[in-house]
Structure 1
């Protein structure tokens, strides 16, 4: 099978699989280009309430497939940056499910997700210093937000790999699971995500990512959504809530 991004939707969760096992799921130029339009399609699907990004088999993503990146290093980096920003802008919760190596462009994609769950034994590295590249400013800020300036500098200055205990301790990952338990935990947690209010999640995602000018917008959305009333009613009736607000499609305010 050619290197590609596989995807599917089940139980309101979209799963995108980085599939290039011959090179430990390294991202080719075509794969970098394919990710933003694929995310646009999944974002516009009202049946999608969360997204999981993972790799085929026992590796998340070993970075960029250098042999496929014809032209200048700058162009290769622009492709990766566009894909990263498209993932960061996805309007619904995103979760990276990491096994094995999560290095270079793979770490860049994982950091662009809202959450990262990893299997014991996974290794993480941010490696532009090994190639003489300048890591993008937005990606650097995102990494600093996750792990703090000291760990971000350690990763960027050295290009060294860190293990799951250190990744968990520094905030690079949110949960570490024993071998064989990652898929079960991701399925369990995404069931929780899709049961919650998309209104709450969408507003929280914007605020957590630094938007400071949308308080009035989200207050208006809440008043017109019916979600707060449904949440209170469901709580009083001791039943699960049935939230109805959905993320607006492309082009909506």
Structure 2
């Protein structure tokens, strides 16, 4: 394989995954998916020791999107494989944060939408430009974007190919927060640490319940939650004891 196209750094239970084609604005090609899959497979392990994952981009931006030069040059495509890698990322037991600065266009937006949380910098620029190039999505845009921002706004983004700022992404619910560029990295880490303070057992349980009930009528979803709750985590007693000691 070529040089590491997705870097990984672990810090106290946090895994930082960095798209690493800065000279190409982190444009996504098949090789990036192969590198990303290796990290996702490791993070799926029950003994990974990771409680939160941050996906980000090296250099000037998160990613300019699918590498059109590779497509035009006849890059081998396996959209089923690439879509499955994104789905595996979305279904990781850990909370997944997409940290977006600079460009986040089309295929990159589909990748970011696999995150449970999207954090944007003020410099972030989001767009779905499939229609600009006479393309249609295969990495989840028509499914994940409407679920995040609503069908009306998703249609607007898809049909116009308009670009939206980090602040606009926050306003429409695409991003969970928007931070100053100078503070972006530390704010992302601080946000991740809030998640890491809580039980990974609970976070994984939340994700499985929400995934299993997506699209269900509420009454069926409620019944599923009651009958499929995973109950008490192995760290419950320790957490309650620490709380009691602080109160004492």
Bin for the TM-score computed over the shorter chain: 0.7 to 0.9
Q: Which residue of structure 2 aligns with residue 14 of structure 1?
A: 15
Q: Which residue of structure 2 aligns with residue 243 of structure 1?
A: none
| Alpha-carbon shift at residue 138 of structure 1 (Å) | 4.3
| Alpha-carbon shift at residue 80 of structure 1 (Å) | 3.5
Q: Please give the alpha-carbon distance, in whole angstroms, between the structure 1 residues aligned to 2:44 and 2:23.
A: 30
Aligned residue runs from structure 1 range 143-222, under 5 A: 143-211=145-213, 212=221, 213=224, 215-219=226-230, 222=231
Q: Does residue 111 of the first structure (1) align with residue 122 of the second (2)?
A: no
Q: Number of residues paired by the alignment? A: 235
| Alpha-carbon shift at residue 14 of structure 1 (Å) | 0.7
Q: Structure 1 152/135 Cα, relative in aligned 2: closer, same or farther at 3 Å?
A: same
| Alpha-carbon shift at residue 137 of structure 1 (Å) | 8.2
Q: Is the 8 A contact 2:107 2:139 kept in 1?
A: no
Q: Does residue 52 of the first structure (1) align with residue 51 of the second (2)?
A: no
Q: Which residue of structure 2 aligns with residue 234 of structure 1?
A: 242
Q: TM-score, normalised by structure 1?
A: 0.84
Q: Is the 8 A contact 1:36 1:82 kept in 2?
A: no
Moved more, 15-24 or 79-88: 79-88
Alpha-carbon displacement from aligned partner over 1:7-62 (angstroms, at most 9, x marks no partner): 12111111111011121110121112322232011232432111100000220000
Q: Which residue of structure 2 aligns with residue 39 of structure 1?
A: 40
Q: Is the 8 A contact 1:116 1:172 kept in 2?
A: yes
| Alpha-carbon shift at residue 236 of structure 1 (Å) | 2.7
Q: Please give the alpha-carbon distance, in whole angstroms, between the structure 1 residues aligned to 2:139 and 2:84.
A: 13
Aligned residue runs from structure 1 range 70-109, under 5 A: 71=74, 75=77, 77-109=79-111
Instruction: Say what the alpha-carbon RMSD is for the aligned residues.
Output: 2.3
Aligned residue for 2:55, secondary structure, equals strand
Q: Is the 8 A contact 1:59 1:100 kept in 2?
A: yes
Alpha-carbon displacement from aligned partner over 1:118-159 (angstroms, at most 9, x marks no partner): 111210011211222222484322111110111110111122
Q: TM-score, normalised by structure 2?
A: 0.85
Q: Please give the alpha-carbon distance, in whole angstroms, between the structure 1 residues aligned to 2:212 and 2:174.
A: 19
2:131 is aligned, of 129, 132, 136, to 129
Q: Is the 8 A contact 2:5 2:20 kept in 1?
A: yes
List alignment gaps of at least 5 residues for structure 1.
240-253
Q: Please give the alpha-carbon distance, in whole angstroms, between the structure 1 residues aligned to 2:88 and 2:74.
A: 23
Q: Is the 8 A contact 1:13 1:190 kept in 2?
A: yes
